[in-house]
């Protein structure tokens, strides 16, 4: 069973959403960490983690990725937006034929102009810290928050959803 699932994931004609669902199934059914799943399918742990993040997209953006209207890079940029803004931005990206870089700029602009508290917090945050969080998240394959305090002190928070995921994070750090 695992072999056929791995072979299915390695097929070249899967769209990113199909690949993400198959990877999630592999991880769930065979109790694998992101690292073990990556090794099984011949991908980097970062690539596997990034694919799995696509499963957090809203339904409309998911369909757009499945149809090939949005690429994985566009979808990853849209993940940080609230659902309604994600839908609007996805349509703008497709209608304007935007690059991934242009999509990232659009997302930053929407977050800065947003009315919700999370958007305002992101708009006030140091862009270097936001970029650092994204880089760290990509490296460990899990959400990372950098919380700055007074006098240069702060906290680094790594979130995980299962002990297996924590094991994968710890393996990668060591």
For the packed helices 2-10 and 34-41, what is the interaxial angle rounded to 10 degrees? 70
Confidence category of residue 88, pLDDT binned at 50, 70, 90 = very high
In a domain, 105, yes or no: yes
SS3 107: helix
Biggest CA pair distance of the chain = 54
Task: Give strand pairing partners of 156.
Answer: 146
**Cα(72)–Cα(76) distance, rounded to whole angstroms?**
6
**pTM score, whole prediction:** 0.63
What pLDDT does residue 78 have? Answer: 94
What pLDDT does residue 124 have? Answer: 53
When mean pLDDT is compared across 120-124, 146-150, 162-166, the lowest value belongs to 120-124
Domain with 99 in it: 69-124
93-102 pLDDT, tens digit per residue, is 999 999 999 9
Residue 18 is classified by DSSP as H
Integer Rg of the chain from CA? 17
In a domain, 79, yes or no: yes
In a domain, 91, yes or no: yes
45-55 pLDDT, tens digit per residue, is 989 999 999 99
Beta strands at 154-158 and 144-148: parallel, antiparallel or unpaired: antiparallel
58 or 163, greater pLDDT: 58
In a domain, 85, yes or no: yes
**Cα(159)–Cα(173) distance, rounded to whole angstroms?**
14
In a domain, 50, yes or no: no
In a domain, 22, yes or no: no
Whether residue 139 has pLDDT greater than 70: yes
In a domain, 86, yes or no: yes
In a domain, 113, yes or no: yes
Overall number of domains in the chain? 1
SS3 148: strand
């Amino acid at each position: 069973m695992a072999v056929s699932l791995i072979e299915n994931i390695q097929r070249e004609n899967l769209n990113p959403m199909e690949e993400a669902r198959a990877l999630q199934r592999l991880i769930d059914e065979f109790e694998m960490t992101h690292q073990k799943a990556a090794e099984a399918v011949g991908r980097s742990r970062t690539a596997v983690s990034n694919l799995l993040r696509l499963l957090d997209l809203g339904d409309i953006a998911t369909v757009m990725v499945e149809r090939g209207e949005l690429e994985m890079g566009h979808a990853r940029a849209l993940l940080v937006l609230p659902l309604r803004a994600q839908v609007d931005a996805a349509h703008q990206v497709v209608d304007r034929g935007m690059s991934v870089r242009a999509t990232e700029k659009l997302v930053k602009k929407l977050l800065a102009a947003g009315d919700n508290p999370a958007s305002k917090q992101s708009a006030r945050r140091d862009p270097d810290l936001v970029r650092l969080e994204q880089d760290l998240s990509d490296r460990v394959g899990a959400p990372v928050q950098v919380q700055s305090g007074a006098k240069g002190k702060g906290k680094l928070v790594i979130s995980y959803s299962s002990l297996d995921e924590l094991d994968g994070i710890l393996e990668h750090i060591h």
